[in-house]
Amino acid sequence: MAALKTLSPVQCPSWARLAAHAESWRSVHLRELLAQDRSRAAQFGAEACGVRLDYSRQRLGAMTLRLLANLAGERGLADWRAALFAGKPVNSSENRAAWHTALRAGALAPGEVQETLSRMKHLCAKARAQFRRVVNLGIGGSDLGPRLLADALGDGALDVRFVASADPRELERALEGAEPARTLFVVVSKSFTTPETLANAAAAKAWGGNNFFAVTENVDKAKAFGASEILPLWNWVGGRYSVWSAAGFAGACATGFENFESFLAGAQEIDAHFTATPLEKNLPVLLALVGVWNTNFLDCATHAVLPYAHALRLLPAYLQQLEMESNGKRTDREGRAVDYATAPVLWGAEGTPSQHSFHQLLHQGTRVVPADFIQASANALQRANLAAQADALALGSEDGQYPGNRPCNILTLEKVDARNLGRLIALYEHKVFVQGVIWNINSFDQPGVELGKQLARKNLSGGK
């Protein structure tokens, strides 16, 4: 495998060309672009694995895409992608792989992954048969992924709840009406030292809980705590990429294991698409390149995600960690301070309610906020609202009260089911990876998070 490139993107010839090219777009309005070219939606769109991307409302043209693709080539995207899928140590600061794609590789998955999935299937059936409530104790990636999965796809056969906060009130609410003998606690912590998670686990024991499963790399600590079943996490799986692993166990309990398998299969389809499809039709690559264009060349500092499906209401929170913990970095892979923007601030909410909350700012605020609209509902009112919001942002009004020219993507899924949710999350994972490659940053460590943990421990020990 060729040496992986760690050249700063600003030293790539295409970066300067893109900066010059961006100047020609300052005075171009989407209203004119869309009116003049009726085929724009077909030209600036792509579809694969049941997902359609319409990026015709972006302030770009064919030359923009060509230059962005050249930049990706100059940054060695193909080699970085190959290293990711081969399990090479792309997490260079920790000398680890980021091999989450192996978790959903089906028959090609490592033996330890297949064995763990088999155990998960057995334990999931056991949990759904023997318990009335499952309470997941975890934080960050040990909470957001399974929580999203359960909220989006839970079938109601089992009451599955989630506790992440150090505030005891969240655990109290999760246990209201529960019986200790019929309640299973799932403690998810790779190190089994996460203070918030262990505090909640100790409180669960004090409440009377005596049924504990653990998902961890630290088997000895989990055994000492009293876990009756221990499912593995491996050091090549980062927390925010771990929903595909045993960290997703509570989500699998909520949905049923067949749905969890479909969830993995959907992600595997996107993996295959990402590795084999030319850049100009590659969904994760297109999302990433458009994001780089908006962030680095059109000076957009934030990005909104607006799912028009109640089942996806927790997706923005999930993507906040995925994108901002991965690419919210100010030093590159060589330890150099960057002099260009990296991850934008990502935020959002379920589409229809958010129209009555912050869309005022999207339409008339002084800052341009690119948005991803996610269409995943057959409801006519939902679809009409989404189309209206996307057009209003792009076109604005002739009187200037609504300036328009505000870029957005529309991602369309036929429905929200396990396979499509797997496709959607994998799509965003690979988008984040591509942007990390272009920005020459490590998307798989989180030193800023670690600093906060160190200071918290110091405060708890009285400043020593």
The catalytic residue positions are 325, 356, 453
> Which DSSP symbol is given to 82?
H
Q: What residues does 375 pair with on adjacent strands?
A: 308, 412
- Dmax (CA) for the chain in angstroms is 69
Query: Beta strands 212-216 and 183-188: pairing type?
Result: parallel
> Which helix (H) or strand (E) element contains residue 68?
helix 62-74
| Helical packing angle, 62-74 and 77-85, nearest 10° | 60
Contact 412, 351 (CB under 8 A): no
- Which is nearest to 55 in space by CA: 300, 371, 271? 371
Three-class secondary structure of residue 444 per DSSP: coil
Q: In whole angstroms, what is the distance from residue 396 CA to residue 31 CA?
A: 8
Residue 228 tokens, joined? 């009756």
- 338 phi/psi in degrees, rounded to 5: -85, 150
User: Alpha helix (H) ranges present in 307-379?
Assistant: 315-320, 326-327, 351-355, 359-364
Q: In whole angstroms, what is the distance from residue 385 CA to residue 271 CA?
A: 32
> Which helix (H) or strand (E) element contains residue 372?
strand 371-375
